Amino acid sequence: MTTPRDIRIFVADIKSRGYDQMTQEDYERLCHLALVTLPMQSERKGKKCPHCSNKIGNASKKCPHCERCVSKQATFARPPDGGNDCTGECASDLTDREFVLLSCGHKICCQCIGKWVRRGYVTCCNCDADIQDTILNKYLPDVV
């Protein structure tokens, strides 16, 4: 095993000879020593997305994998009883807005359900109940 002192001596030897005098063997040894002594890449740090379990940065407000909002404000914006609010990503008031009532009882505005279905999901974003085929066909793009 090579110690940091051995590496310093080796690099000092190359510097004293001049870099233009470095041989292919010296270059390969220098690259090998650099790679061996570097620390291993650590596991990606951060919190897990509550929707897809992908690791994301602690300051992230949106998961890059599933594109869903992960900020705590969005989680607490929904009333606990469901009320008249969208249970999708926007959690907006559904008064005077068009929405879909899924077979599981969750109300989701048309904009949220459209995004959800176009991403390839076929189940409710809250309880994993199947979305009706009529709703899927309405929001899926026509395949030619």
Extents of the domains making up the chain: 4-37, 77-144
What's this model's pTM, rounded to 2 decimal places? 0.40
CB-CB neighbours of 63 under 10 Å: 20
Q: Phi/psi of residue 69, each to 5°?
A: -70, 130
Quote the CATH superfamily of domain 77-144. Answer: Zinc/RING finger domain, C3HC4 (zinc finger) (3.30.40.10)
Each of the 144 residues of the chain gets a pLDDT tens digit; together they read 577 788 888 888 888 888 788 888 988 888 888 777 776 665 666 777 777 777 787 777 777 777 777 765 433 334 445 466 677 777 777 777 788 888 888 888 888 888 888 888 888 887 878 888 888 888 776 644
Q: Let me know: does 112 contact 90? Beta carbons within 8 Å.
A: yes
